[in-house]
Amino acid sequence: MKKTGAWLARYAMEQVGVKYTFGIPGVHNTELYDELNNSEQITPYLVTHEAHGGFMADAISRTTDGIGSMLIVPAAGITHAASGVAEAYLDGIPMLVISGGIRNDSKFDYQLHQLDQLKLVEGFTKAQFKIATHEEIIDTIYKAYDIAVTGEPGPVFVELPVNLQLDKAEVSSLSSYVKTAKNDLSDPQMTAIRSAAQRLYQAKNPVIFAGWGAVGAFDELVKIAEHIGSPVSTSLQGISAFPANHPMHAGFCFGTAAADAPQKAFAKADCVLAIGTRFAEIATGSFGGELPDNLIHIDINPEVFGKNFPTQIAIEGDAQQVAQALLTELLAQGESKDSAAIAAEIAANKAAYRKSWYDHDSKERVNPALFFDELRSQLDDDANIVVDDGNHTFLSAELMPIHKARGFISPTDFNCMGYATPAAIATAFAHPEQETVAIVGDGAFMMTCMELATAVNNEIGVIIGVFNDGELSQISQAQQIPYNRKTCTVLPQTKLQGIAIATGADYVRVETNDDLNVAISEARELAKRNRPVILDINIDYSKATAFTQGIVKTNLKRMPLSTKVRMIGRAIYRKITD
Q: Where are the domains of the chain?
A: 2-170, 187-346, 360-547
d(CA 403, CA 381): 6
Neighbours of 439 (CB within 10 A): 30
408 closest CA partner among 377, 433, 376, 378: 376
- Tens of pLDDT, residue by residue, the chain (578 residues): 899 999 999 999 999 999 999 999 999 999 999 999 999 999 999 999 999 999 999 999 999 999 999 999 999 999 999 999 999 999 999 999 999 998 888 788 887 778 899 999 999 999 999 999 999 999 999 999 999 999 999 999 999 999 999 999 988 889 999 988 889 999 999 999 999 999 999 999 999 999 999 999 999 999 999 999 999 999 999 999 999 999 999 999 999 999 999 999 999 999 999 999 999 999 999 999 889 999 999 999 999 999 999 999 999 999 999 999 999 999 999 999 999 999 999 999 999 999 999 999 999 999 999 999 999 999 999 999 999 999 999 999 999 999 999 999 999 999 899 999 999 999 999 999 999 999 999 999 999 999 999 999 999 999 999 999 866 577 666 666 666 667 766 667 789 999 999 999 999 999 999 999 999 999 999 999 999 999 999 999 999 999 998 988 888 788 888 887 787 777 776 777 77
Q: With the CA atoms of 110, 116, 117 and 119 taken in that order, what torsion angle do they form, in degrees rounded to the nearest 10?
A: -170
Same fold across 187-346 and 360-547:
yes
Question: For residue 264, what is the enclosing H or E element?
Answer: helix 260-267
Its pTM stands at 0.94
Q: Give the integer Cα–Cα distance in Å for 19 and 57.
A: 11
Strand order in the sheet with 295-299: 249-252, 232-234, 206-210, 271-275, 295-299, 313-316
Please report the pLDDT score of residue 5 as a whole number.
94
Distance CA 267, CA 4 (A): 62
Distance from C-alpha of 317 to C-alpha of 304, rounded to nearest angstrom: 12
Cβ-based neighbours of 82, under 8 Å, separated by 6 or more: 51, 54, 121, 124
Q: Where are the beta strands (DSSP E) in 30-131?
A: 43-46, 68-72, 95-101, 127-130
Q: From CA 61, how far away is CA 426, in angstroms rounded? A: 10
Domain 2-170 is in which class?
alpha beta
Question: For the chain, what is the radius of gyration of the CA atoms?
Answer: 25
Give the CATH number of domain 360-547; options: 3.90.105.10, 3.40.50.970, 3.40.50.300, 3.40.50.10860: 3.40.50.970
The third-level CATH classification (topology) of the domain covering 187-346 is: Rossmann fold (3.40.50)
